[in-house]
């Protein structure tokens, strides 16, 4: 008994061409996933290096970084943060040495293929702790969180990026549907944050930019210009950014025609990183990480590489 052979029909690609294109797409996705792991590893290495700064080994790290995360929080959040801060305070040097070393090891683990999975698992647990203690859940529950300055928090985005670049899968542990839903939630959440009373007043954007730490003359000059340009226009900017964020979230989560929206999301994140996050304060000697924008760009890039052209 012989199997029937399906003849080639004009206008339809040959089966071999289908297989070749599928193989090429899989190879491209695998390379993009590996590149994302390397980029994420380099970001963790930068964070580890920042944690080794002298400022982090003094008690000002507690009063300047951890304690402010309890301000304005519900008691169920504020009290544990304060308790952890008091627990760390007498041993802040030991804690920071451990934290910096662990972040460096996570970064190195992501640079080597064989240790990617263990490094990601450790990073999930560590980032979750940072999101709670070091970022106060991005200050979302205080009513003062702003996408411009880094909400919903870099640590949460470390977890999302790590889930998406989990090796051996096209969309990571989130899956295709999960990754697109997460993207939509992040940007629709940003749209909602822009409309909070703390962010949509006439002077809100100016005040947010004016308070960003810089540590470099050229960056200070850039932020001063941005602050002056936004003075008195906070309400209009907030409404426009809320609408744009919603469009990015909904458009970027689609299966088709998502790339233009993802590209706009990358561009907006770059603007946020400079004028709202001061490049994470890496030039100040007090920055603990690169802030949220680079992670958002990484998430967008992973979705972009998997989206149909």
What is the per-residue pLDDT for 158? 98
Question: pLDDT tier at 79 (50, 70, 90 boundaries)?
Answer: very high
Contact 290, 304 (CB under 8 A): no
pLDDT exceeds 90 at position 204: yes
- C-alpha–C-alpha distance, residues 306 and 141, integer Å: 33
Nearby residues of 46 by Cβ (< 8 Å), 6 or more positions away:
107, 282, 289, 290
Residue given tokens 């690609």 in the structure block: 13
Q: Of the candidates 83, 61, 60, 87, which has an alpha carbon nearest to the alpha carbon of residue 73?
A: 83
Residue 26 has pLDDT above 90, yes or no: no
Give the tens place of pLDDT for each residue, 100-152: 999 999 999 999 999 999 999 999 999 999 999 999 999 999 999 999 999 99
Buried b (16+ CB within 10 A) or exposed e, 116-134: beebbebbeebbeebbbbb
Q: Is the pTM of this model over 0.85?
A: yes
Indicate whether 7 pLDDT > 70: no
Query: Over the Cα atoms of the chain, what is R_g?
Result: 22
pLDDT band at 231 (very low <50, low <70, confident <90, very high): very high
pLDDT band at residue 59 under the 50/70/90 scheme: very high
Of 125-129, 178-182, 189-193, 253-257, least confident by mean pLDDT is 253-257
Percentage of the chain beyond pLDDT 90 is 86
pLDDT band at 307 (very low <50, low <70, confident <90, very high): confident
Predicted confidence (pLDDT) per residue in 249-295, tens digit? 999 999 889 999 999 999 999 999 999 999 999 999 999 999 999 99
| Residue 20 pLDDT exceeds 70 | no
In contact, 88 and 60? CB cutoff 8 Å: no
pLDDT for residue 25 is more than 50: yes
In contact, 272 and 148? CB cutoff 8 Å: yes
Tokens of 9: 């029909």
- For residue 6, pLDDT over 90 is answered with no
What percent of the chain lies above the pLDDT cut of 70?
91
Q: What is the pLDDT of residues 141-150, one digit of tens each?
A: 999 999 999 9
Query: Is 268 exposed, middle or buried, given 0-12, 13-18 or 19+ CB atoms closer than 10 A?
Result: buried
Look at residue 2 and tell me whether its pLDDT is greater than 50: no
State the pLDDT at residue 3. Answer: 47
Query: In this predicted structure, what is the pLDDT of residue 83?
Result: 97
Query: Residue 87's CB: how many other CB atoms inside 10 A?
Result: 10
Task: State the chain's mean pLDDT as an integer.
Answer: 92
Average pLDDT for 180-209: 97
Confidence of residue 74 (pLDDT cuts 50, 70, 90): very high
Largest Cα–Cα separation, the chain: 82
The CB density around residue 13, as the number of other CB atoms within 10 Å, is: 11
Extents of the domains making up the chain: 23-306
pLDDT for 167 beyond 70: yes
**pLDDT band with cut points at 50, 70 and 90 for residue 1:** very low
- pLDDT at residue 24, as a whole number: 58
Residues 6+ apart with CB under 8 A from 244: 264, 268
Best CA proximity match to 162, nearest among 107, 202, 213: 107
DSSP H helix total and E strand total for the chain: 12, 0
């Amino acid at each position: 008994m012989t199997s029937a052979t399906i003849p080639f029909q004009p206008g339809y690609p040959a089966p071999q061409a289908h297989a070749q294109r599928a193989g090429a797409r899989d190879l491209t996705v695998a390379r993009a996933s590996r590149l994302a792991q390397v980029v994420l590893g380099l970001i963790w290495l930068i964070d580890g290096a920042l944690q080794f700064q002298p400022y982090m080994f003094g008690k000002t790290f507690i009063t300047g970084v951890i304690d402010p995360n309890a301000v304005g929080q519900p008691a169920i959040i504020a009290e544990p943060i304060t308790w952890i801060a008091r627990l760390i305070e007498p041993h802040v040097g030991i804690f920071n040495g451990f934290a910096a070393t662990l972040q460096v090891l996570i970064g190195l683990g992501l640079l080597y293929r064989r240790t990617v999975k263990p490094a990601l698992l450790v990073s999930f647990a560590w980032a979750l702790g940072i999101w709670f203690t070091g970022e106060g859940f991005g200050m979302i529950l205080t009513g003062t969180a702003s996408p411009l300055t880094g909400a919903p928090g870099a640590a949460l985005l470390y977890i999302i990026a790590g889930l998406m670049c989990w090796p051996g899968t096209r969309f990571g542990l989130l899956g295709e549907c999960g990754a697109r839903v997460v993207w939509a939630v992040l940007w629709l959440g940003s749209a909602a944050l822009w409309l909070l009373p703390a962010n949509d007043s006439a002077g809100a954007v100016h005040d947010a930019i004016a308070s960003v730490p810089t540590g470099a003359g050229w960056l200070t000059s850039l932020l001063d210009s941005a602050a002056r340009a936004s003075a008195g226009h906070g309400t209009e900017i907030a409404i426009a950014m809320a609408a744009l964020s919603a469009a990015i979230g909904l458009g970027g989560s689609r299966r088709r025609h998502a790339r233009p929206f993802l590209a706009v999301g990358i561009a907006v994140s770059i603007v946020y990183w400079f004028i709202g996050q001061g490049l994470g304060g890496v030039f100040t000697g007090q920055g603990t990480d690169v802030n949220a924008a680079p992670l958002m760009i990484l998430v967008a890039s992973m979705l972009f590489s998997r989206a149909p052209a």
